[in-house]
């Protein structure tokens, strides 16, 4: 599961990856934004760091605040239009092997007035 979060402090974007299944042993490491038309990276990679989760049985990984200038033009509006951006997450398996997971479709979006 992934979401994009926009806080009011400085127009930064935050990407989150939530691992809900306790049995999943991989760790999300980075996230990139891919243009589905060109299959090119248009933003990132951004490092994901594990955070305390308010949700039971989940692990939350979050980027640092990403400045608007690091994102594609009109990102906030474009990411809700077809064709949707692809969010490519690199994860590390317990065996130390890297794997790529493409999240296709509209991610969960959340806006907040202050940083949680």
**58-97, pLDDT tens digit by residue?**
788 989 888 888 988 877 777 777 888 888 999 999 899 9
CA distances from 10 to 65, 68, 69, 100 (A): 9, 9, 12, 31
Record the pTM: 0.79
CA distance 32 to 10: 21
Question: What DSSP state is assigned to residue 105?
Answer: S
CA torsion, ordered 21, 27, 33, 37, to nearest 10 deg: -70
């Amino acid at each position: 599961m992934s979401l994009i979060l926009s806080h009011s402090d400085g127009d930064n974007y935050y990407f989150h990856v939530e691992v809900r299944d306790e049995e999943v042993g991989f760790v999300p490491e980075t996230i990139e934004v891919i243009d589905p038309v060109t299959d090119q990276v248009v933003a990132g990679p951004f490092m994901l760091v594990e955070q305390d989760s308010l949700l039971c049985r989940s692990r939350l990984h979050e980027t640092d605040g990403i400045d608007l200038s690091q994102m594609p033009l009109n990102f906030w509006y474009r990411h809700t239009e077809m064709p949707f951006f692809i969010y490519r997450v690199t994860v590390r398996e317990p065996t130390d092997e890297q794997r790529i997971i493409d999240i296709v479709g509209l991610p969960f979006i959340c806006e907040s007035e202050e940083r949680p």
